[in-house]
Structure 1
Amino acid sequence: MPDDVWERFVQDSERDIRISQAPKEPSARARMVTERLRQQDARGELPPAWRADPVGQGANGRRARRRRVWTVIGIPLALAVAVVAMKPSLLPGDPFGTDSAAVMGSGSGPAVSPLPAETAPETAAPGSAPGSPTLDEPFAGSPAARYADGAAGIVLPEAKAVGAFSKEQVAGALEQSRTLLVGANVDRGTLLGDTPETVLGEVLDPKQPEFVDDLRSWLRKPGRGHDPLRFFSRFDQDEVRLVGDVVKTRGRTTFEGGKDGALDIHVDYTFVYALAPADPDSGEVARTIVRRVIDLRLLDPAKYEATPGRLAVIRYDDDIANSACGVYDGFLHPRLASGGPTGAPPSGPAVDPYDRSRDIGDDDGGAGDGDSGEGSCGSVSRT
């Protein structure tokens, strides 16, 4: 309780107690009634039970004491109720859900409500968001402030038997698709330049001709025609640092039966990264947005040369916003006001990287400044 409120409570309590204990001058009527009863008692006109005073002055004294007790108890109780009414979040556990900090996570930015999971294709770009990014609230001013955190944003559909695979096998394949997305786009080691061994060694099928070997080769020696950013999100620690521990994630996973009893899984997710210059004294914050659309397939080992439980990659498209164009060193390079690799200048009409209703593909040049494919270097309306 604040000091000024407590001091006011103590003063009010002391005043009420003094008032309740102060002697009071009886009224004229009370004096007259008392004198009449005294005379009746002297003449022996009152019964003995009256002299025992079961409900007379003794009862009055008890009532007075009870009033004093309730004064001491009631005033702080009423005060506590008033304080809780003004700020319900003071109650342990915040039973009324009024603590906006719990919605935001940390920092002092405006409260926002999280978006429900994406269960169907979005039909329009999200609206504008208030605020500007800071080190404490790096996603302020972005629709990503309402996205889920990391793996929590990858919500899998309920599994069911498909083709040659049981419900349990389908559930295992869906979990593998989530492991791939997290390992390639959320895992902190991958983001800081480590080799994503979980993806390469535990999820992707090594029997898929050349693909896993190609990815390893791209990571070792990136270049224009073999850029690991086509599949992995990575940043140069000498240039930038990650702000906080959160990657904002939004998207959906679907599946269906494929050719010859196969299971086809389609994933479409947007990942938003908050970055700051590597200089620890810099307060500048930038965001890079990466959207990935990938088609995965679980083949029936009875019909194909395939590893049970491992996924083959059928198609993969990427859309990168706010990263330098024409730089093929295997890292994303956010455009910072303080400088850094800039590459080719963006061109063409600006598009919204948060618009998940828009299709992406290799032939559209990408939605953003990234140029991991062979398309043109596009411009964006916001980051």
Structure 2
Amino acid sequence: MSTVPPPDRSDDDPSSSLSDEQLESFLREAAEGGATSAPKEPSARARMVALRLREEDEAARRADPRGGRKNQGPPSPPGWRTGPAPSAGGSRKRRVGAVLGVLVLAALAVVAVRPSLVLPDDDGGGSGQPPAAETARPTGAPGDPAGSGRATPEHPFRGSPAERWAEGADAIEVPKAKALSGMSEEDVEFALRRTKDLLVAANLDPGVLRGGQPDEALAVLDPKQPKLLPELRRRLREPDEDHDPLRLFTRFDPAETRLVGDVVKVRGRMTLAAGEPGVVKVNADYTFVYPLVRTDDPDGPVARTIIRRELTLTLNDPAAWDVTEGRLLLEKFFAEYGNTSCDAHDGYLHPGFPDDGPDGERPTGPATDPYDRSEPLTMDGSGGCGRVTRT
């Protein structure tokens, strides 16, 4: 019973119309959990009946060393405000169940907030959430996804670590800008945004991927940079082994292949560095994964070409340097391709398909994992014709 007794409502209490026998019966049913409804507030007579029942229980326990009355009935009624009195059996089980229920709910809440606790946190596959944005160079290659299988036009990234990667332009996240090397925060933000514009225009624009001219990408670059734009346009116009536009632009021959759907998977990061006074450097390192089918067989086998690009662009203060305001300089650019012909130099990527026969130039370079981003690119595609370990 509550240590503070409820107020006496006597005649106003509906329970006062009950006989002692009816009230006692109700109290016993309540103790067993069988009562269907309870008085809103106990009357003085109800408290007297409860007191008498307790006194009978105490007298019975004194008379019987084993405890309880000889005509053992249900236990004494619980207090009106304290809830049912605990028993040695069922209530304990209920308490354990309640604790387990609370633990399960707590675990579910933690997983909802931190899904990485139960999902793989590497770049591996699976159908879970995309991995966190890359902020530093990975320590190793991503693992194979769970339940790997052959890619199909309906599931073009099946069996690839890129299955969980973010896609398209949204995957190229611009870091927070800050004033650097004498350039304002607004200047640095502009350099970051234009670097993203170049990456998107050169590697994700549908027209460029179908072999079109990358005019929006070229518009990012400074025409005052000696020989750069004329050289890039020459590569696009008359490609050959020594003048390859694929070093900077992603292009497929529309007569040969086409993308499956409109999704390109992307993984990488963009970082800032200070150059000379009045120079901000933006370093970009991204891997793009393209699923393709033959143009004349859209329901046939799927090939994936993987391209990793590293480039450095600079924004120079026009007050201190002979540059065009609002344009960036291209300081360096490297590229590495996974699954494309070694002996084609026509300005297009030519992926190999699972049902292709052995033809073309035999691999002479080392076997590489095109998904491994743990080492920097060190040369502009001059490592020979190698073999990829997976696509």
TM-score (norm 2): 0.65
Task: Please give the alpha-carbon distance, in whole angstroms, between the structure 2 residues aligned to 1:214 and 1:141.
Answer: 39
Partner of 2:150: 132
Moved more, 350-359 or 339-348: 339-348
Instruction: Flag the structure with larger Rg.
Output: 2
Is the CA contact (8 Å cut-off) linking 1:318 and 1:361 kept in structure 2?
no
Task: Tell whether 2:127 aligns with 1:143.
Answer: no
Give the AA of the match of 1:176.
Answer: R
Q: Report SS of the residue matched to 2:249.
A: coil
Change (3 A) 1:295 1:351: same
Task: Tell whether 2:381 aligns with 1:376.
Answer: no
> How far did residue 225 of structure 1 move?
0.8
Partner of 1:84: none
Partner of 1:40: none
> How far did residue 308 of structure 1 move?
1.4
Query: Within 5 A, what are the aligned runs for 1:289-328?
Result: 289-328=306-345
- What whole-Å deviation, never above 9, does each CA across 1:175-203 have from its counterpart, x for those lacking one? 000000000001111100111111112x1
Partner of 2:221: 204
Give the AA of the match of 1:312.
Answer: L
> How far did residue 262 of structure 1 move?
0.3
Partner of 2:130: 114
Task: Please give the alpha-carbon distance, in whole angstroms, between the structure 1 residues aligned to 2:136 and 2:262.
Answer: 28
> How far did residue 261 of structure 1 move?
2.0
Task: Please give the alpha-carbon distance, in whole angstroms, between the structure 2 residues aligned to 1:341 and 1:263.
Answer: 47
Is the CA contact (8 Å cut-off) linking 2:341 and 2:349 kept in structure 1?
yes
Task: Tell whether 2:202 aligns with 1:194.
Answer: no
Give the AA of the match of 2:390.
Answer: R
Give the AA of the match of 1:331.
Answer: Y
- What whole-Å deviation, never above 9, does each CA across 1:310-345 have from its counterpart, x for those lacking one? 110111100000000021000000012454995312
Which structure features the higher share of helix residues?
Answer: 1
Partner of 2:279: 262
Is the CA contact (8 Å cut-off) linking 1:112 and 1:145 kept in structure 2?
no
Moved more, 276-285 or 243-252: 276-285
Query: Within 5 A, what are the aligned runs for 1:40-189?
Result: 111-129=127-145, 130-189=148-207
Task: Please give the alpha-carbon distance, in whole angstroms, between the structure 1 residues aligned to 2:192 and 2:297.
Answer: 39
Give the AA of the match of 1:138.
Answer: P
Partner of 2:295: 278
Partner of 1:59: none
Give the AA of the match of 1:308.
Answer: E
Unaligned runs of 5+ in 2: 1-111, 114-124
Match of 1:221 among 218, 238, 242: 238
Task: Please give the alpha-carbon distance, in whole angstroms, between the structure 1 residues aligned to 2:129 and 2:149.
Answer: 15
Partner of 1:27: none
- What whole-Å deviation, never above 9, does each CA across 1:139-197 have from its counterpart, x for those lacking one? 01000101111111111110011123211111111000000000000111110011111
User: Where has structure 1 moved over 4 Å in runs of 4 or more?
Assistant: 338-342
Is the CA contact (8 Å cut-off) linking 1:335 and 1:342 kept in structure 2?
no
Task: Tell whether 2:339 aligns with 1:331.
Answer: no
Give the AA of the match of 1:377.
Answer: C
Task: Please give the alpha-carbon distance, in whole angstroms, between the structure 2 residues aligned to 1:256 and 1:184.
Answer: 23
Partner of 2:41: none
RMSD of the alignment, in Å? Answer: 2.1
- Percent same amino acid at aligned positions? 49
> How far did residue 282 of structure 1 move?
3.8
- What whole-Å deviation, never above 9, does each CA across 1:89-144 have from its counterpart, x for those lacking one? xxxxxxx99xxxxxxxxxxx962321111011100100112222110110010001
Task: Please give the alpha-carbon distance, in whole angstroms, between the structure 1 residues aligned to 2:131 and 2:287.
Answer: 14
